[in-house]
Amino acid sequence: MTDLNAPLSRGRKNPGANRAGARADGTAVANGDTMNEDTEGLAQNAAEGNLHAFAELLFFAYRDFTGDPDAILKDFGFGRAHHRVLHFVNRHSGLRVADLLEILNITKQSLSRVLKQLIDQGYITQKAGAADRRERLLYPTERGMALAGRLAAPQLVRLRAALTAAGPEAETAIRRFLEAMINAEDRPKVSAIIDPAGLPADRNDEGKPS
């Protein structure tokens, strides 16, 4: 038979007991613990909601950032892969194929298909390295530089407008945020790539093949 004088089991059946079971008559403490846990849960949910919102903002920002040049690429029968290759070759004339593979993080097979189209249609030219003839160095042609500039133009306009809207103090914070989004082991390489002084060695001062 159940002993009616015995204390109820903690938690669900005894509203006077707190979740830790420290005091059976500590109703205020028990409610406080519950409220604290509920508050922490709400705060965690809110924080996760903010992170989801950031993720979605990144998605929509990238969608529109790439959408501008996408419309231009269609006229040439190209896609985003062609844009990426042309962008980095134009920015780093004399770029090694091996370095481009590492930057884009794609297979040789994937790059070969895109690169062949850009070379065959006169947007990129390829030469053997002066120091190592086995190396393949990539250079934009006049036609390639013109297309790269045309593709970059609407993106630069969008970036300039966004930075202006964010305010003069925001640029440093945005740069830090974007850098922190990159895998830690890749950050030094990325810094070298985006540094204006980080140019290929096998080229002259004008960015043309040696």
Render pLDDT for 166-182 as a digit per residue (tens, 0 to 9).
Answer: 998 999 999 999 999 99
In terms of pLDDT, which residue wins out, 168 or 82? 82
Instruction: Kindly report the average pLDDT of the chain as a whole number.
Output: 82
In terms of pLDDT, which residue wins out, 13 or 121? 121
pLDDT digits (tens, 9 = 90+) for 42-79: 667 777 889 999 999 999 999 999 999 999 999 999 99
Q: What is the pLDDT of residue 47?
A: 79
Nearest to 202 by CA among 133, 124, 143, 118: 133
Contact 93, 200 (CB under 8 A): yes
In terms of pLDDT, which residue wins out, 210 or 186? 186
Judged against a pLDDT cut of 60, whether residue 192 lies above it is answered with yes
pLDDT band for 130, please (50, 70, 90 cuts): confident
The two three-digit tokens of residue 94, written as one number: 């004399």
The two three-digit tokens of residue 53, written as one number: 């919102």
Domains of the chain listed by start with CATH number: 78-194 (1.10.10.10)
Q: What is the pLDDT of residue 122?
A: 98
For residue 136, report the phi and psi dihedrals to the nearest 5 degrees.
Answer: -110, 120
